[in-house]
Structure 1
Amino acid sequence: MWENKIDINQIVEIRAKTTAFFGVGAIKKMADVAKNLSSRGIKKVIVMTGKSSHIKTGAWAVTKQALEANAIEYLLYSEVTPNPTVEQVDEAAARAKSFGAQAVIAIGGGSPIDAAKSVAILISYPEKNASELYELKFAPDTAVPLVAINLTHGTGTEVDRFAVVSIPAKEYKPAIAYDCIYPLYAIDDPALMTKLPAEQTLYVSVDAINHVVEASTTIVTNPFAILLAKETIRLVAKYLPVAVKEPENLTARYYLLYASLIAGTSFDNGLLHFTHALEHPLSAVKPELAHGLGLSMLLPAVVKEIYPASGEVLAEIFEPILPGFKGTADEADKAFAGIRNWLDGIGVTSSLKDEGFDEYMVDRLVDLAFETPSLDGLLAIAPVKATREAVRNIYTNSL
C-alpha cells in the first residue's frame, strides 16, 4: 500500500484557506508561526485551552517558548469545557480586550478552537457579545488572526470556517460559518494525540466519518467532497482499530489525523445536514454528552432515512465497512444494521436510551432541531425533505 511509503516524520503543507503544518513534530513549527505573528506587528495574544491537555501533550511548553522568543506577551485562558458556552466566550473575550490581545491561539480539540474562533470575532466587534453572534444577530466579516494547534483527530475545525458554541439558557447549540474565522495557521501533529483515551479516540474519529457522510449527500455536494469522503472512511476503517489497540502507534494517528483534516475540508465544501442538526440538541440538553458519541448514536438511523435518495454515494463511500452494497433503496435497513454492527465492533455500543434519552424527550428534541438558530440551514440541504416526521424517525430509530 502506498501509505507505507509515506515518511510520516516529514512536515508537509496542506493548503486550503488555512496553511496546516502536518506531520510528526509539526508542533516545532510554532517557532516559525510566532515569528510570522511578530512580523505582522502582533505583540499580545490570548491562548485558549481546556484545563490540562495543552500541558499534558507538551504543546503549551513549545508554544510558550516560541512566543517568548519573539517577545509576544500572552494571556492564558484555560477554562474552555467540552461543548463550550457563550458565557465562556464572553468571559475570554472580555479578558482578551482588556489585555489588548491582537490575535488568538487555540490549543485543543474542537471546543477550544471553536471558542477561540468566537473570541477572534468578538475582539474585532467589541460592542457585540457571544449570544448575539450565535443567535445570528450580526454577520461578522472580520476577525483577528487565529492559530489552531489541534489535539484531536476528529473535528477538522483547524482548517475550516465553522464554529459551534452553546447557549445553555435556551438549550441551543448553534453553528456559525464565516470566512473570517479560517485559522491563519494550523498545527496537526499526530504525536500530540497518542495520549487520547480509547473512548475519545473512537468518538472523534466517528465525528470525521459523520462529516463526510453528510457532506457527500447534501443537495449542494460536489465531486471533491465525495472524493474526500471515500478516502476518509477508508482510512478510519483501516487505522481506527489500530489506534485503539496501539495508542502510541504514530502511523495510525497520522492517518486518522489526515482523515479528520480532509473530512473537515469535505464538509467545508459539501456542508452538513441531519446528523449534526440532530446531535446539537442532544448535547445542548445534556452538555456532558460527547459530540462524537451523539453523532455515533444517530448515524445508522440517518443513513437509513437518506439511503433511498443517496444510496449510490453511500454504497461507494461505505465500501470498506459495507462491502457489496449496490446503492438501491431496498438496502436501507441492511445499511442501518451494517453500520450499527460496525460501531458495535469498534466499541461504540451506546444508544440514546443508554445515555438517558427516552421517547418522552423526542418531541422536545424535534422542536430544538427546528428552533435552534442555524440548524434550519442544515436541514434545508438534506437529501430528503426534513419534515418533523423525518426528524422524529431518526431520533426514534436511535433510541
Structure 2
Amino acid sequence: MWEREIDIHQVAEVRTKTTTYLGAGAINKMSDIAAALTGRGIKKAVVVTGKGSYIKSGAWDVVKKALDEKGIGYVVYNKITPNPTADQVDEAVKIARDFGATAVIAIGGGSPIDAGKGVAILLAYPDQTARDLCEFKFSVEKAVPVIAVNLTHGTGTEVDRFAVITIPEKEFKPVLAFDCIYPLYSIDDPALMTLLPPDQTSYVSVDAVNHVIEAATTKAGNPLAVSLAKETIDIVARYLPQARKDPGDLAARYHLLYASLIAGVAFDNGLLHLTHALEHPLSGLKPELAHGLGLGILLPAVVKQIYPAKAGILAAILAPLVPGLQGTPDEAAQAHDGLKKWLKQVGIKQHLTEEGFTAKDIDRLVELAFDTPSLGLLLSMAPVEASRDVVRTIYEDSL
C-alpha cells in the first residue's frame, strides 16, 4: 500500500485557491500565517469557534501563542453550534466590528468555518445582516481574509468557496457560494482530530463520501471530480473502520483528512445535487441532526434514483463499498442495498424515523427543498429531473 510510504509528519503545502497545510504538526504553521497577516497590515482578528473543541483539541493554545507573538489582537466568539444560525453570525459580526477586526480566524469543523465565512463577508458590508446574506438580498464581491483551522475530516470547507448558515424561523438552510470566501490559509492537522468519537468520525467521513458521489454525477461532472471521487471513497473505505476502532490512530486520521480535502476540491469543481439539497431541509427542520448522518440516511435512496443515468461512473467510484457492480442501469437496487449495508457497518442509521421524522413531515421537507434559497441550483444539477415526485420518493424511501 503506497500510503505507508507517506511521512504523515511532513507538512505539505496543498495549493488550490487556498494554501492548506496538511500533516501532523501543521498547526505550528500558525506562526507563519500570523506573520503573513501582519504583512498584510492586519492588526486585529476575530476568532470564530464553537464552545469547547478549539480548546480541547489543543488548537487554541498554538493559535493564541502565534497571535500574541506577532502582535495581532483578537476577540473570541465561541458560541457557534452545529448548523450555525444567522443570529450567531450577526452576534459575532457585532463583536468583531466593535473590536475593529479586519480578519477572521475560524477554528472548528464545518459549522465554525462556515459561520466565519459569513462573518468575513459581513465585515466587508457593514450595512447588511446575516439574513440579508442568506436570502441573497445583496451582491457579494468581497470579504475580509479568512484563516481556517480545521478540526474535522468531512466538510471540505477549509478549501472551498461554500458556506451554510441557517435562518431558523424559516427553517431555511441555504448554501452560500462566493469566490471571496476561499480561506487565505487553512490548517489540516490530523493530530487535532483524535478526540472525535466513533459516531462523529463516521458522520464527517460520510459527508466527504457524499461530496464526491454528487460531484462526480452532476451535470457539471468532469474527469477531475470522478478521479477524486474514486480516490476519496477508496481511502474512506479502508481507513474509516480503522479510525472508528482506534480514534487515536494518527495515520488513519491523516488519510481521512486528505480524503476530505480532495472531496472538497471535487465538489468545488463539480458541485452538488440531490443528497445535499434534500439534507438541508432535514437539518433545517431538526437542527440537532448531524449533517453527515442525514446525508448517510438519504444516500442509498438518492443513488437508487440516479443510478440508471450514471451507472458507469457510480459502478466505478462505489467499487470499494459495493463490489461487483458492472455499470448497467438495472443495478440500481443492488447499489442501494449495498450502500445501506456499508453505511450500517460504519454506524449510520438506516431510517429517518430513527431521528424522529414521520410521514407527516414529508410535505414540509419537499416544500423546503424547493423554497429554500439556493437549493434550486443544487436540484437543477442532478443527473435526473429533480421533480417534486422524485424528491418525495427519496424522502419516503428514506423513512
TM-score normalised to the size of structure 2? 0.99
Question: Residue 95 of structure 1: CA displacement?
Answer: 1.0
CA deviations over 1:274-329 (Å, ceiling 9, x no partner): 00000000000000000000000000000000001011100000011111201111
Identity of aligned residues (%): 63
The aligned counterpart of 2:23 is 23
What is the aligned-residue RMSD (CA, Å)?
0.6
> Which 10-residue stretch deviates more, 137-146 or 343-352?
343-352
SS at match of 1:47: strand
Query: Is the CA contact 2:22–2:189 (under 8 Å) kept in the aligned structure 1?
Result: yes
CA distance in structure 2 between the partners assigned to 1:246 and 1:362 by the alignment: 38
Structure 1 residue 346: Cα displacement: 1.5
**Paired residue for 1:148?**
148
CA distance in 2, matches of 1:348, 1:220: 29
1:106 partner SS = strand
CA drift of 1:336 comes to: 0.5
Aligned to 1:102: 102
User: Which stretch of structure 1 is more off in the superposition, 349-358 or 290-299?
Assistant: 349-358
- For 2:132, the equivalent position in structure 1 comes to 132
Q: Secondary structure at the match of 2:310?
A: helix
Structure 1, unmatched stretches of 5+, are none
**How far apart are 1:351 and its partner, in Å?**
1.1
Q: Is the 8 A contact 2:107 2:151 kept in 1?
A: yes
Equivalent residues in 2 for 1:269-284, closer than 5 Å: 269-284=269-284
Alignment-derived partner of residue 313 in structure 2: 313
CA distance, structure 2, for counterparts of residue 253 and residue 45 of structure 1: 29
Over residues 64-118 of structure 1, what are the superposed CA-to-partner deviations in whole Å (9 max), with x where a residue is unaligned?
0000000000000000000000000001011111110010000000000000000
- Cα distance in 1 between the residues matched to 2:64 and 2:218: 42
| C-alpha separation in 2, matches of 1:139 and 1:320 | 43
Which whole-Å CA distance do the structure 1 matches of 2:140 and 2:115 have between them? 15
| Alignment-derived partner of residue 265 in structure 1 | 265
Partner Cα distance (1:103, 1:229) in 2: 33
Q: CA deviation at 1:349?
A: 2.4
* Residues 106-255 of structure 1 aligned to structure 2 (within 5 Å): 106-255=106-255
**Partner SS state of residue 80, structure 1:** coil
- State how far apart, in whole Å, the 2-side matches of 1:311 and 1:248 are: 37
**For structure 2, which runs of at least 5 residues remain unmatched after alignment?**
none
Partner of 1:396: 396
CA distance in 1, matches of 2:323, 2:213: 16
After the TM superposition, which segments of 4 or more aligned residues of structure 1 sit over 3 Å from their partners?
Answer: none
For residue 210 of structure 1, report the CA deviation from its aligned partner.
0.3
Structure 1 distance, partners of 2:45, 2:300, is 43
SS at match of 1:360: helix
Alignment correspondent of 1:322 = 322
Residue 138 of structure 1: how far off its partner (Å): 1.4
Q: Report the Cα offset of residue 359 of structure 1.
A: 1.1
Separation (CA, whole Å) in 2 of partners of 1:323 and 1:296: 19
In the alignment, structure 1 residue 60 sits paired with structure 2 residue 66: no
The one-letter amino acid of 1:281's match is P
Query: 2:333 corresponds to which residue?
Result: 333
Separation in structure 2 between the aligned mates of residue 267 and residue 138 of structure 1, nearest angstrom: 25
Shift, 1:153, TM fit:
0.2
Pairing of 1:41-80 with structure 2 (within 5 A): 41-80=41-80
Displacement of 1:360 in angstroms is 1.3
- SS of 1:163's equivalent in the other structure is strand
Q: Distance in 2 between matches of 1:12 and 1:92?
A: 32
What is the rounded CA distance, in whole Å, between the counterparts of 1:172 and 1:342 in structure 2? 31
SS at match of 1:149: strand
Displacement of 1:374 after TM fit? 0.1
**How much has 1:19 moved relative to structure 2?**
0.1
Q: Which amino acid aligns with 1:324?
A: G
How far residue 350 of structure 1 moved from its aligned partner, in angstroms, is 3.8
- For 1:72 and 1:296, the matched residues in 2 are separated by 41
Matched, 1:88 2:81: no
**Paired residue secondary structure (1:216):** helix
Residue identity in the other structure for 2:327: G
